[in-house]
Amino acid sequence: MVYRIRMIPKETVDRIFDTARIDEVVGEFVALKKRGSSMLGLCPFHNEKTPSFNVSAARGIYKCFGCGKGGNSINFVMEHEHITYPEALRWLAKKYNIEIAEEEQSSEQQAKDNERESLFLVSGFAQKHYTKNLHETEEGKAIGLSYFQERGFRPDIIEKFQLGYSPDTWKNLTDAALTAGYKLPYLVGAGLTIQSEEDKEKYFDRFKGRIIFPVHNPSGRVIAFGGRTLKSDKKIAKYINSPETAIYHKSNVLYGLYFAKKQIIAEDICYLVEGYTDVTSMHQAGIENVVASSGTSLTVEQIRLIRRYTNNITILYDGDPAGIKASFRGIDLILEEGMNVRVLLFPDNDDPDSYSKKVSSDALKQFIQSNTKDFIRFKTELLSAEVGNDPIKKAGLIREIVASIALIPDAITRSVFVKDCSRILDIEEQTLLNELNKFRKTNYNKKQTGEARTKTISPNEDGFVPDLTARAEEKVSLDQQTRTEYQEREIIRLLLSYGSQMLLARGEDETGVEIEIKVSFADFMLNELEQDTATFEHAIYEKIFVEFKRHAENGLVPDLNYFVNFPVHEISQTAIDLVSIPYQLSDWEKHAIYVTTESMELRSAALHASNSLKLRSVELMISEYRKEIRELEEKKEFENMMIVLSKLKGLEDAKKHFSGLLGRVVIR
């Protein structure tokens, strides 16, 4: 039976917002390190090598100063998992064990599900069906479960990875899913069912007669499957995998990452293996920070996925020389991404699966720790046997290794590897440096050529090539149209940051005597702006300002969370952008150096911001009046011109007044 949340009560939504800590939610996908009062990591939304992704637990927000994305816990889950708002709430509710009301979904409601969610749902059903087959059917227990037991897998590992079995019949899964209410197009779309193109009534299960390894995305949802046949017929492929679907792109997925990510962060290293059983066996041996590329060549996207959690990769190989040489490209990709790569070769043609079953958990950990090598030593030792004493082949080996070193972005790391290479291969360091510089120059020229191609401006359909100068002038014009945007932005930033903070303001008692009273920053700012009827022109800032006014009329001050969690995305995004800054003030007090911060001078900050807006508004009005005077003079409408001149005089006086308050000198 299929279920779906139709409507989540507001009190449940509020509880999810209150419970979902941004650092915990983001920490499931990104390795975060403490930096001052916030946390820093590599952005999961764009490729970067220097961390610019900030998480503020105190404010409950994240902000990337590289790509600009920001939000709260809900926004992060929506963006990262490509799901809707209700689906993100459900995801977080499950994480924090918050119970939410669900109702049975009718066939009409099910039909409205978007394709991605439907594929997730049908994949989840398939996993449960395969797992049930493994444990509750005679064929599953006799063939699938006995195979796992013969391979030495414990029940807890079988359960952890949700391993399963697909019977050797044509429609076992498909018919079960159709009976449960799932639609055939989604079964086909998820890669679970193969449908005949000639006869749509003919279909069969893709994974029939195989043990099943579900593939999870980083948040734990099943997105694909791997199936291994237990038959000895060589005409049958040993492994088959799900095809590319709307939720599964194999170049972006690592098997076991969902189960490994926490330990990868904890140990700051990721072990990379080849297959499904390598991952499960390593987990059984107590090594959980391990993932697999599932038999595919390592891709840049997979490397960047690992880099979210650690900068250190150790590749665990079996003893197959041909396979190892084929993987050299993967090592180069890792180096090019600025990561640290080490390599381990298992003895006697063992792989992680077989070797982990021969030795104890402690012995396996000790073997890995003692036998990993940096890529230069590994590559040199592996290829030296083929080179022998042939000087031509040795020169080729040296060039191949130097070409790999040239890919490393960091100059210091390159220098260290060049020294090691010089010592190992007994060749002068300067010779290696000369060769390295040639490679780097070639790589740079290729990159520049590629970028130039992407930046080429093509004519449009009419053969017209855009005029960049005209674009620049257009930008200036647009900038002028923003008018008071900068001043409005500063006022809203202050309100969001300090709205409820109390400060001393001047007031009068019943007898008219001036006294100091405590008011909130928001009340003080609103009062200052209303004295001169200052208005906002920028739509988003105006909406936020109106929200402050509306609450102030009821004696309340909305806090930052009110705007961060605001249902209008544009407002919540603006709030996050305004309160997020890429820099933090150092703790100078430990050196007995005391710095005056903005929060200590809130009254001055409020006056400066409000007076700046008023001055800018006056300057714009002066500019418009002067333009009007010129037009009236040309038309010889001198009477109207005198009226406008009188107004202009008043504005000039106002300009001097606000300039004086801001400490600015007006020349004319």
Domain with CATH 3.90.980.10 in the chain: 113-248
Residue 648 has a pLDDT of 84
Tell me which of 457 and 187 has the higher pLDDT.
187
pLDDT band at 477 (very low <50, low <70, confident <90, very high): very low
pLDDT band at 451 (very low <50, low <70, confident <90, very high): low
Q: Is the pLDDT of residue 466 over 90?
A: no
* pLDDT tens-digit series, residues 326-337: 678 888 899 988
For residue 479, the SS3 value is helix
For residues 288 and 359, the answer to whether their CB atoms sit within 8 Å is no
Q: Characterize 251-262 residue by residue with b for buried, 16 or more Cβ atoms within 10 angstroms of its Cβ, and e for exposed.
A: eebbbbbbbbbe
Residue 57 has a pLDDT of 84
User: What is the C-alpha to C-alpha distance for residues 548 and 528, in angstroms, rounded to an integer?
Assistant: 14
pLDDT band at 597 (very low <50, low <70, confident <90, very high): low
Residue 507 has a pLDDT of 63
Q: For the CA atoms of 106, 111, 116, 119, what is the dihedral angle to 10 degrees? A: 70
Mean pLDDT of 187-194: 95
Mean pLDDT of 238-255: 92
Residue-by-residue DSSP string for 356-373? HHHS-HHHHHHHHHHH-E
Tell me which of 86 and 184 has the higher pLDDT.
184
For residues 26 and 32, the answer to whether their CB atoms sit within 8 Å is yes
* pLDDT tens-digit series, residues 374-407: 888 888 777 777 777 788 888 888 888 899 899 9
Q: Where are the beta strands (DSSP E) in 482-525?
A: 502-508, 514-520
Q: What is the pTM of this model?
A: 0.66
What is residue 251's DSSP assignment?
Answer: G
Q: Is the pLDDT of residue 270 over 80?
A: yes
Write the burial class of residue 462 (CB in 10 Å: 0-12 exposed, 13-18 middle, 19+ buried).
exposed
Mean pLDDT of 120-147: 96
Q: Which residues contact 597 (CB under 8 A, 6 or more apart)?
A: 585
Q: Characterize 611-624 residue by residue with b for buried, 16 or more Cβ atoms within 10 angstroms of its Cβ, and e for exposed.
A: bbbbbbbbbebbee
For residue 166, the SS3 value is strand
Q: Which of 87-91, 261-265, 276-280, 438-442 has the highest mean pLDDT?
A: 276-280
Residue 322 has a pLDDT of 62
Chain mean pLDDT for the chain: 82
Q: Which CATH class is domain 259-446?
A: alpha beta
The candidate with the shortest Cα–Cα distance to 62, out of 99, 24, 96, 90, is 24
Residue 457 has a pLDDT of 38
* pLDDT tens-digit series, residues 139-175: 999 999 999 999 999 999 999 999 999 999 999 999 9
Residue 4 has a pLDDT of 45
User: What is the C-alpha to C-alpha distance for residues 522 and 503, in angstroms, rounded to an integer?
Assistant: 10
User: What is the C-alpha to C-alpha distance for residues 622 and 52, in angstroms, rounded to an integer?
Assistant: 42
pLDDT band at 474 (very low <50, low <70, confident <90, very high): very low
Q: Which CATH architecture has domain 113-248?
A: Alpha-Beta Complex (3.90)
Residue 193 has a pLDDT of 96
The candidate with the shortest Cα–Cα distance to 122, out of 172, 171, 190, is 190
User: What is the C-alpha to C-alpha distance for residues 81 and 89, in angstroms, rounded to an integer?
Assistant: 12
Residue 475 has a pLDDT of 42
Residue 592 has a pLDDT of 53
Residue 209 has a pLDDT of 95
Tell me which of 102 and 600 has the higher pLDDT.
600
Q: Is the pLDDT of residue 459 over 50?
A: no
Domain with CATH 3.40.1360.10 in the chain: 259-446
Residue 502 has a pLDDT of 83
Q: Which amino acid is at 19?
A: T
Q: Is the pLDDT of residue 202 over 50?
A: yes
The candidate with the shortest Cα–Cα distance to 487, out of 653, 664, 615, is 615
User: What is the C-alpha to C-alpha distance for residues 72 and 63, in angstroms, rounded to an integer?
Assistant: 9
Find the range with the poorest average confidence among 362-366, 400-404, 463-467, 584-588. Answer: 463-467
3-104: CATH topology: DNA Primase; Chain A (3.90.580)
User: What is the C-alpha to C-alpha distance for residues 601 and 503, in angstroms, rounded to an integer?
Assistant: 9
Tell me which of 137 and 115 has the higher pLDDT.
137
Q: Characterize 328-364 residue by residue with b for buried, 16 or more Cβ atoms within 10 angstroms of its Cβ, and e for exposed.
A: bebbbbbbbbbbbbbbbbbeeebbbbbbbeeeeeeeb
Mean pLDDT of 88-108: 74
Alpha-carbon separation of residue 437 from 422, 430, 440 (angstroms): 15, 10, 5
* pLDDT tens-digit series, residues 30-78: 888 888 778 899 998 888 888 889 998 878 889 898 888 888 888 898 8
Q: How many residues does the chain have?
A: 668
pLDDT band at 253 (very low <50, low <70, confident <90, very high): very high
Find the range with the poorest average confidence among 44-53, 126-135, 444-453, 601-610. Answer: 444-453
Residue 213 has a pLDDT of 97
User: What is the C-alpha to C-alpha distance for residues 346 and 281, in angstroms, rounded to an integer?
Assistant: 14
User: What is the C-alpha to C-alpha distance for residues 260 and 255, in angstroms, rounded to an integer?
Assistant: 9
Q: Is the pLDDT of residue 469 over 70?
A: no
Mean pLDDT of 559-572: 82
* pLDDT tens-digit series, residues 496-552: 888 888 877 766 666 666 677 778 888 888 888 887 777 788 888 888 888 888 888
The candidate with the shortest Cα–Cα distance to 105, out of 118, 88, 120, is 118
Q: Is the pLDDT of residue 3 over 50?
A: no
Residue 646 has a pLDDT of 84
Residue 511 has a pLDDT of 65
Q: Where are the beta strands (DSSP E) in 219-275?
A: 222-229, 239-241, 270-273
Residue 276 has a pLDDT of 94
Domain with CATH 3.90.580.10 in the chain: 3-104
Residue 46 has a pLDDT of 86
Helix or strand holding residue 374 (H, E): strand 373-374
Q: How many CB atoms lie within 10 A of CB 594?
A: 9
Alpha helices in 268-410 (DSSP H): 276-284, 300-307, 321-326, 328-336, 352-358, 361-371, 375-387, 391-405
User: What is the C-alpha to C-alpha distance for residues 89 and 74, in angstroms, rounded to an integer?
Assistant: 7
* pLDDT tens-digit series, residues 292-320: 987 678 888 899 889 888 889 999 987 66
